[in-house]
Copies of this chain bind each other. A is one copy, B any other.
Amino acid sequence: MSMTSLKRAARKIDWLVRCILLLLTGGCLTLLVTWVWSDNATNYLLRSDAAISKQYISVPDNFQLLVEQSFSCPPCPDVQSIDGLETTGYVDLGVINCSINGAETIECREDKGQVYIPASFINNYFEVYGNVKREGSSRVYNFQHGYGKVYPVQPVYHPGGVFLNFEKYNVETRDKIICVTASHGVPLVSQWDPAGYYYAITVAQYGLSHHAKGILSGNPVPKPVAGGDVTASVWENVESGMSVEIVETSTALGTRKVLAFNAPESVTSPGPVLRLNTIEQTVCMDLQLNSPGGVTMQILTKEGKLGFIHFTLDDAHMVVNGNHVIYGMGQRNLGKWVHLARDVDVDWLKSLGRTKFNAPTCFMEIVDVTLHGTGFLDNVTISTSAHNDHLIHAADWLVISQDSQGGWPTSTGMKTGDNIELKPGWYSAMGQGQAISTLVRAYNLTGQKSYLDTVVAALHLYQLGSHEGGVRARFLDQLDWYEEYPTTPTSTFVLNGFIFAMLGLYDAMKTLDGEGQILAEKLWSSGLHSLKKMLGMYDTGTGTLYDLRHVINHEQPNRARWDYHTTHIALIEEMAIIDGDPIFRSTFNRWVDYFYGKRSKHN
């Protein structure tokens, strides 16, 4: 080797070190190794790019200087000539083309005889998920077969207990929920109508989720802060022309002491103020307004801004104006007692149009409560939650909203396929079931018999065929199926809605007595027979199907996406617990396996 070639080689080493260190600075983790050699005829540049964690290399002290020098190094990936030697091209080391089913070609990698396929292709092709995560000081690529999570249900099921795994449901923060109304204390849905409407399934799930949370997280004892039993002296800012005083008033339950107030009617005017300065976000109260006016809660956000949440007699459910939001209880409640149970953080969040809790704009503290107009106030409490109040609000809405058929009709019709439709005013067996499960729990909590009257009435539609305006389909004119979507002329046989309808029947059967009990048990038994006969049809060996449209209407199979698959898993686990038939347990185990990518055998 001549001195010239030695020098040239050394210069290349120097250049490489500088390039490497350039890339290492600024937290860059991509290391470029480049190798060049030449004879007199041709020059060769080979390149290999790869990522390494900086942890593997302790950059020695004396390399600092080189780093500073290296800024004049040309951008490494684009280097095509060095020392005036022209290169004829370069290759990415380890690149191999992959032909996908002979139809398309993607670029893969090869290393030590193993071919590597891009994760982005795999994720798209196989509908799986992955992302790079930092674990301690190293980085790991997390491959996930499904998204979401399998949440177990409680080991025992009973009609007063946790419903399914509903403690994991957060109904009111979902996208499609406009707000929890002040008039009924239940969520308003925008899914099929942006103006908002009440949907029995959503109302029931709101009640059931809070009921489950209450059991598993506890229902905190609310702290009374003002009201008929305490002194009125806590109220501040009682200016001239305003008053707060304890008075006796007669109610249906007898005479009781409440706080009477009188103040300007405008919710932006001053009024008597009750200072709270609490981070507990739930305020409950009984309120009777005898004039326009209302109650204002002033809140402080985490970013230090103020917000004003007004509860008035407006008919509009929610009106937002800057940092003021009005929740309307409705004109009809003038002169009537209304029970408010407000998660103020949710009220604030919804006023922002936000669907998820978000730190910068999030509620931090209730500053105070201000009174407007003329009325009575009682039982003001603060707490971290009011789960049972939400359950009762849901149940009460179901009681007053049930129609003469015993159902909760949906006014929006739907077309679910060619000539397959739901006519406006349709009922859902899932709605009936979820309503029953809610009402039974409200009954178990309060002992109030009227809830059970609503339950008995709700059984009626289970007996009516979809063609008769009911919710019952029959598979091969033989097996009863309670339809989440009782489409006509052909049925849909949605699995999850059916089991929700069944759980309602189970709750009714175990809670009612007399004819209601007999009817509920008959409907349950008939449905259980169907489920055992038909369950396998939803099992693909790698996942589950949402419905049977592929059997009934010869459409393409409607594969359940992962969140429905995990719902199927929870529902079938609940059936295993309730019924004990080993087919439910073995199906449950298999469906859990599918979630983690394990398939059934092939022949």
Q: Which residues of A contact B (CB under 8 A)?
A: 1, 5-7, 9-10, 13-14, 16-17, 30-31, 33, 35, 37, 39, 41-42, 44, 46, 48-53, 56-58, 60-63, 91-103, 105, 108-120, 122, 125-127, 130, 132, 138-145, 476, 478-479, 532-537, 539-543, 545-548, 550-552, 554, 556-561, 564, 583, 586-587, 590, 596-597, 599-603
Hey, which chain B residues are within 8 Å of A586, CB to CB? Answer: 554
| B601 and A556 form a contact (CB under 8 A) | yes
| A533 and B143 form a contact (CB under 8 A) | no
Hey, which chain B residues are within 8 Å of A115, CB to CB? Answer: 118-119, 130, 132, 141
- In the complex, 24 of the A-B residue pairs with CB atoms within 8 angstroms, ordered by the A residue number, are A1-B14, A13-B13, A30-B112, A33-B35, A33-B48, A42-B58, A51-B94, A51-B96, A57-B91, A96-B141, A97-B140, A98-B140, A98-B141, A99-B142, A102-B144, A108-B119, A115-B119, A115-B130, A117-B119, A533-B551, A539-B550, A541-B556, A556-B590, A560-B602
Q: Smallest CB-CB separation from A46: which chain B residue? A: B33
Hey, which chain B residues are within 8 Å of A58, CB to CB? Answer: 42
Hey, which chain B residues are within 8 Å of A97, CB to CB? Answer: 138, 140-141
| B557 and A540 form a contact (CB under 8 A) | yes
| A50 and B110 form a contact (CB under 8 A) | yes
- Also in contact, A603 and B558, with CB within 8 A (given A31-B46, A33-B48, A96-B141): yes
Q: How far is the CB of A418 from chain B (nearest CB, A)?
A: 12
- Also in contact, A44 and B63, with CB within 8 A (given A558-B600, A602-B560): no
| A559 and B599 form a contact (CB under 8 A) | yes
- Also in contact, A93 and B602, with CB within 8 A (given A115-B118, A551-B537): no
Q: Smallest CB-CB separation from A51: which chain B residue? A: B110
| B96 and A558 form a contact (CB under 8 A) | no
| A557 and B10 form a contact (CB under 8 A) | no
Partner of A117, one of B57, B143, B478: B143
Q: Smallest CB-CB separation from A532: which chain B residue? A: B554
Residue of A130, A143, A532 with most partner-chain B CB within 10 A: A143
Bound complex: CA A37 to CA B57 (Å): 12
Partner of A536, one of B94, B108, B548: B548
| B96 and A132 form a contact (CB under 8 A) | yes
| A114 and B110 form a contact (CB under 8 A) | no
Bound complex: CA A17 to CA B9 (Å): 12
- Copies of this protein in the complex: 2
Bound complex: CA A96 to CA B139 (Å): 7
| B541 and A545 form a contact (CB under 8 A) | yes
Bound complex: CA A215 to CA B239 (Å): 106
| B557 and A112 form a contact (CB under 8 A) | no
Q: How far is the CB of A286 from chain B (nearest CB, A)?
A: 44
Given contacts A33-B46, A39-B63, 20 further A-B contacts (CB under 8 A): A1-B10, A5-B10, A9-B9, A33-B93, A39-B61, A53-B96, A96-B132, A101-B144, A109-B111, A115-B130, A116-B118, A126-B126, A476-B478, A537-B551, A540-B545, A541-B543, A542-B542, A556-B600, A556-B601, A557-B600
Hey, which chain B residues are within 8 Å of A62, CB to CB? Answer: 39
| A99 and B140 form a contact (CB under 8 A) | yes
Q: How far is the CB of A246 from chain B (nearest CB, A)?
A: 58
Q: Smallest CB-CB separation from A478: which chain B residue? A: B476
| B603 and A564 form a contact (CB under 8 A) | yes
Hey, which chain B residues are within 8 Å of A99, CB to CB? Answer: 140-143
Q: Smallest CB-CB separation from A475: which chain B residue? A: B476
Partner of A537, one of B50, B142, B537: B537
Q: Can you list the 8 inter-chain pairs with the closest CB atoms, starting with the nearest?
A: A50-B94, A50-B93, A116-B116, A536-B551, A540-B540, A541-B557, A556-B600, A51-B110
Q: How far is the CB of A111 from chain B (nearest CB, A)?
A: 5
Q: How far is the CB of A65 from chain B (nearest CB, A)?
A: 12
| B37 and A143 form a contact (CB under 8 A) | no
Bound complex: CA A13 to CA B356 (Å): 58
Hey, which chain B residues are within 8 Å of A42, CB to CB? Answer: 58, 60
Q: How far is the CB of A76 from chain B (nearest CB, A)?
A: 12
- Also in contact, A587 and B554, with CB within 8 A (given A113-B51, A132-B115, A143-B100): yes
Q: How far is the CB of A553 from chain B (nearest CB, A)?
A: 8
Q: How far is the CB of A502 from chain B (nearest CB, A)?
A: 18
Hey, which chain B residues are within 8 Å of A145, CB to CB? Answer: 101
Q: Smallest CB-CB separation from A561: which chain B residue? A: B602
